[in-house]
Each structure stands twice: as C-alpha cells, then as structure tokens.
Amino acid sequence: CKKLPMDTFFQWNKVYVLDTIQGALIKRVKKSKLENHILCISENKEYEPFDLNLSEVNSLALVVGAIGLE
C-alpha cells in the first residue's frame, strides 16, 4: 500500500485502504453521485456498494500489490 495525503485525487476504480471511524476498509472506489462522498464497492458481490462521506475517512492508502495463498 502507498499512503496518500487526504487532499489527494482518487483514481476511480482502484482499490484503497480507508481508515474510517468504523475501522479499516479495503474497497474499490468510484465516483459518488453525492457531493463529498465516494462510492465504495466490495470485491465480494454479496455486499452492496455504499456511499461514504469523506469526513469519515481518517487516512487512506492506494493498494499497489497483493499476496495470494494457494
């Protein structure tokens, strides 16, 4: 992960780690229809996408790689 400043622009459709008031979230981020929000999408299709107010995000990091187990 690459830690980013809070005033950074989002690269839509990229995966981010979002440190929120409810804990850390790993979500794909897209543009929200609501002002000052982002649309968070889970890779697990059983979870519905949701809008998250940017004021609820304490810090963020762009996911630049992943490690998988077989």
Q: List, for residues 27-70, the tens digit of each pLDDT value.
A: 999 999 999 999 999 999 999 999 999 999 999 999 998 777 77
Q: Are 16 and 9 in contact (CB under 8 A)?
A: no
54 DSSP assignment: G
Question: What is the count of structural domains for the chain?
Answer: 1
Is position 70 within any domain? no
Is position 42 within any domain? yes
Is position 58 within any domain? yes
Domain that holds residue 18: 2-62
The verdict on pTM exceeding 0.85 is yes
Return the ∠ at Cα 42 (arms to 26 and 48), rounded to 5°: 135
Is position 23 within any domain? yes
Is position 68 within any domain? no
Largest CA distance in the chain: 41
Q: Are 19 and 57 in contact (CB under 8 A)?
A: yes
Is position 37 within any domain? yes
